Structure formats: C-alpha cells, structure tokens
Amino acid sequence: MRSSCLNCARKHLAEALILAIEERQGYKLHKWLAIGEMAQAEAELIQKYPDIANEIRAGRKEYEAGTDFDLPIMKWLEELTKKEEEHIISD
C-alpha cells in the first residue's frame, strides 16, 4: 500500500462534495460517484490517518444507506488541514 497523500484525499473529498450537491439537484446517479470518491479518500488516509479515514467510511455508509445524512465533508477537510499543519510544525 502506498503512503497517505493528504492532497489526494482532499481532492477526492472536494469532488465528493460537488457530486453530492449535484445528486441533490436531481442527478441521482451522482450519488454513486460521490460514494466512490469518498472511498478513494478513505484509501488515501487509512494507513497514516485511520481516525479520519474511519470517520469518512462511517459517513459514506450513512450516505449510501439513503438516510437523511448531512455529509460533513467540510469538517473532514478542516481536520486534514489541521493534520497537515501539525505535521509541518513537528518536523
């Protein structure tokens, strides 16, 4: 497994957010594209940041189940930014 890439995970989450919004606008199949992007973000993070990866997985499963779940993608992006800042400071 390759190492975690924060920027790659952020790109996948940003795309998932756009797709989830489009799904709400009537493009129903975009839900599955958003789910795929979230799964990609999880894969990027699971090795180095399992806590956030597991949060994303739980959110993805809720979204996939069709519950009226508000995806906290911006929260996840903020958490990744904090992780990056912590890493820069500790180096």
Query: Considering the domain boundaries, does residue 70 fall inside one?
Result: yes
Query: Considering the domain boundaries, does residue 18 fall inside one?
Result: yes
pLDDT tens-digit readout, 59-81: 999 999 987 778 999 999 999 99
Domain hosting residue 12, numbered range: 6-84
* pLDDT value at 15 more than 80: yes
Query: Considering the domain boundaries, does residue 60 fall inside one?
Result: yes
80's CB contacts (< 8 A; 6+ apart) are 6, 9, 10, 13, 45, 49, 52
Q: How far apart are CA 90 and CA 59, in angstroms?
A: 30
Q: Tokens 């930014």 correspond to what residue?
A: 81
Domain total of the chain: 1
pLDDT tens-digit readout, 79-90: 999 988 887 655
User: Can you give the pTM of this predicted structure?
Assistant: 0.87
Query: Considering the domain boundaries, does residue 90 fall inside one?
Result: no
Task: Quote the pLDDT of residue 1.
Answer: 40
